[in-house]
Amino acid sequence: DAGITQSPRHKVTETGTPVTLRCHQTENHRYMYWYRQDPGHGLRLIHYSYGVKDTDKGEVSDGYSVSRSKTEDFLLTLESATSSQTSVYFCAISVNGNTEAFFGQGTRLTVV
Amino acid sequence: AQSVAQPEDQVNVAEGNPLTVKCTYSVSGNPYLFWYVQYPNRGLQFLLKYITGDNLVKGSYGFEAEFNKSQTSFHLKKPSALVSDSALYFCAVRDNQGGKLIFGQGTELSVKP
């Protein structure tokens, strides 16, 4: 799907541990996004990036950090995982700031 | 800050009937509007977009959407629903500064034979 790979696809982790999710693209798109999807909340933007080392917060950024050291990779880190961060996480990419975004297949994260 | 509202959690339609999935938005300046569809256990697929121009936008799988600036709405429509259209539909908006892409809560469309 649009050259986007999320890893891992599934993860179970314990409360209090750090977790990093990876989004890798082969499209050389400038913008990359991290969303979480929860029942009743739709998709909520966590962080996004508009270029290498250029990132900004979304709607629900508390407890999350991101890094983008290369165009193709956007990492999402849960600094100390909590049960409220159990969710499905989606990465998306877009060519620029006014075009459609294309989504990865998602990562299902369970914090126990 | 921009926002999107999808006022219906669920829409039920009989196969062959027209369908409408509603979306209203709030954004500073001119909006960029999008519709996506999500099938179970899958990522989101892009359906159509409005950037500028004709208020009626045509997209994939026979879907279309009508942009109404005065009502700040961007409703998704299809003249004749199929059972295979049953899925979760999301409306999304960017402001004209680019950057953030904000989604609504989603509407579950159920098409019955």
Q: Given pLDDT bands bounded at 50, 70 and 90, which one contains residue B28?
A: confident
Give B34-79 pLDDT, tens digit per residue. Answer: 999 999 888 899 999 998 889 999 999 999 999 999 999 999 999 9
Q: Among all residues of chain B, which has the CA nearest to that of A59?
A: B102
How far is it, in rounded angstroms, from Cα B16 to Cα B85? 11
Kindly write down the DSSP assignment for every residue of B1-34, as one continuous string.
Answer: --EEE---SEEEEETTS-EEE--EEE-SSS-EEE
Q: What was the pLDDT predicted at B41?
A: 81
* Residue pointed to by tokens 């909340």: A41
- Please judge whether A43 and B34 are an interchain contact, meaning their C-beta atoms are less than 8 angstroms apart: no
* Residue A104 tokens, joined: 């990865």
Q: What was the pLDDT predicted at B22?
A: 98
- Please judge whether B49 and A33 are an interchain contact, meaning their C-beta atoms are less than 8 angstroms apart: no
Q: What was the pLDDT predicted at B92?
A: 96
CA distance B43 to chain A (A): 5
Indicate the SS3 state at residue B85.
helix
* Residue pointed to by tokens 């001119």: B30
Please name the member of A42, A98, A106 whose beta carbon is closest to the beta carbon of B98: A98
How far is it, in rounded angstroms, from Cα A96 to Cα A91? 15
Give ∠ CA B91-A100-B37 in degrees, rounded to 5.
40
Q: What was the pLDDT predicted at A41?
A: 83
User: Taking residues A24-50, what's their average pLDDT?
Assistant: 94
Q: What was the pLDDT predicted at B65?
A: 98
- Longest Cα separation, chain B: 44
Give A74-83 pLDDT, tens digit per residue. Answer: 999 999 999 9
User: Taking residues A53-68, what's their average pLDDT?
Assistant: 95
Residue A21 has pLDDT above 90, yes or no: yes
* Residue pointed to by tokens 């829409």: B11
Residue of A35, A57, A98 best to disrupt the B interface, most CBs of B under 10 A: A98
How far is it, in rounded angstroms, from Cα A65 to Cα B27? 26
- Please judge whether A56 and B99 are an interchain contact, meaning their C-beta atoms are less than 8 angstroms apart: yes
Q: Which residue has the higher pLDDT, A89 or A98?
A: A89
Q: Among all residues of chain A, which has the CA nearest to that of B9?
A: A40
Q: Given pLDDT bands bounded at 50, 70 and 90, which one contains residue A1?
A: low
- Please judge whether A97 and B94 are an interchain contact, meaning their C-beta atoms are less than 8 angstroms apart: yes
Show residues of chain A in contact with B96, CB under 8 Å. 98
Q: What was the pLDDT predicted at B15?
A: 98
How far is it, in rounded angstroms, from Cα A98 to Cα B54? 17
* Average pLDDT of the residues of chain A: 94
Q: What share of chain A is helix, strand, coil (3-state, %, to 5)?
A: 5, 60, 40
Sequence-distant (6+) residues with CB within 8 A of A84 are A111
* Cβ A48 vs Cβ B100: under 8 Å: yes
Give B103-113 pLDDT, tens digit per residue. Answer: 999 999 999 99
CA distance A102 to chain B (A): 7
Give B15-27 pLDDT, tens digit per residue. Answer: 999 999 999 999 8
